[in-house]
Amino acid sequence: MLFFDAEPIGNVYGEIIDTASSICNQFILVERHSISLNDNAIKVLKELNPFLLEKREQQEWLGTELFGDTATVNYYSLNEKSKHILKTHAKGLYSWVQPNLTEDLSFIKDSGEAWLINIAHEYCSYIDSDDDDELMRIKSISGINARYV
C-alpha cells in the first residue's frame, strides 16, 4: 500500500490519472444527498454521462461508510476521453468534493478490486496494491509525496 502524504496536484495528479488508466478500467464519483451540487459539478456530470456504466444507491463505497444515509455512487468507464475530463476539471485529488465537484474520485481495476482510494474531504488517499511494479510506477512520478505503509 502506498499512502499519499500530500495531495497529488498539477502534473502529479495528471500522471496518477495516466497511470490509473493503464491499470484500471473504471472510476467512481459520489453524489452526497446532504450537499447540493453547484453548476460546475452538474456540468462535469453531464460531460461524463456518455461514460456512465451504472448508478447505485449505497451506504458504503471505497474508503467511506455512511450511517443512516445513502449516496449515489456513479461508476464510469475509464478511457482517453473520460480521463481528459478528470484532468481538466480538477487540480488535484482533493478537489473532488461537493459542491464544486462530486466526491471521492477513486479507481477500480479490471478485476473489480479497488486500486486508488480517495476520501477527499478527509485529505486522505492511497494506492491499495501489492504489485511492486504498480507501486514503483507511482513512486517514480516526479514530485510525488508518498510512503509505503
The pLDDT assigned to 64 comes to 72
**Angle formed by the axes of helices 132-139 and 10-23, nearest 10°:** 160
> Inter-axis angle of helices 39-48 and 80-89, to 10 degrees?
170
Please, what is the angle between helix 10-23 and helix 80-89, to 10°? Answer: 160
pLDDT of residue 27: 98
Query: Which residues of the chain are modeled with pLDDT < 50?
Result: none
HEC string of 81-124?
A: HHHHHHHHHCCEHHHCCCCCCCEEEEEEECCCCEEEEEEHHHCE
Quote the pLDDT of residue 91: 97
Tens-place pLDDT, residues 132-144: 999 999 999 999 9
Q: What is the pLDDT of residue 106?
A: 97
SS (H, E, C) 37-58: CCHHHHHHHHHHHHHEEEEEEE
pLDDT of residue 73: 96
- On whether the pTM is more than 0.85, the answer is yes
Q: Which helix (H) or strand (E) holds 61?
A: strand 60-61
pLDDT at 137: 96
Q: Residue 69's pLDDT is what?
A: 86
Q: 141 with 15: CB under 8 angstroms?
A: yes
Rounded to whole angstroms, what are the CA distances from 97 to 25, 71, 111, 121? 22, 13, 27, 6
- The DSSP output letter for 69 is -
What pLDDT is recorded for position 114? 96
